[in-house]
Amino acid sequence: GESVGLHLPTLSVQEGDNSIINCAYSNSASDYFIWYKQESGKGPQFIIDIRSNMDKRQGQRVTVLLNKTVKHLSLQIAATQPGDSAVYFCAVLQGGPGTYKYIFGTGTRLKVLA
């Protein structure tokens, strides 16, 4: 099966600085990954995704990097803003005969300091 872990439970950054949130996964066959943002009292919100045939993908102020060799992905947030304060999860698609599910990590809480 798949297990997903994160390197840090809490990350504090100054407003305007860049943030980097990390995630490790265990199944080398995994080929689709999503980053989610979850604010208090809300469901996870889709941020950005990446497939295993890519190393990098950019969105608005966010970049996801995928290193398949060490089974690691990261989320970079540029010019972090107070509205970025939330818990961030990576999710890894686990598929196969009779199964199709996303495995989530425990999350990293991002705190933006004014």
Residues at the interface with another protein (CB under 8 A) = 4, 31-32, 34, 36, 41-46, 49, 89, 91, 93, 95-96, 98-107
Closer Cβ to another protein, 1 or 114, answer by number: 1
Shortest CB 17 distance to another protein, Å: 25
CB of 84 to another protein, least distance (A): 19
Q: Please identify, using beta-carbon distances, which residue of 13 and 32 lies nearer to another protein.
A: 32
CB 7 within 8 Å of CB 106: no
3-state secondary structure of 44: coil
Which CB sits closer to another protein, 40 or 69?
Answer: 40
CA distances to 4, 13, 20, 21, 109 from 7, in Å: 10, 16, 11, 8, 11
How far is the C-alpha of 112 from the C-alpha of 114, rounded, in Å? 7
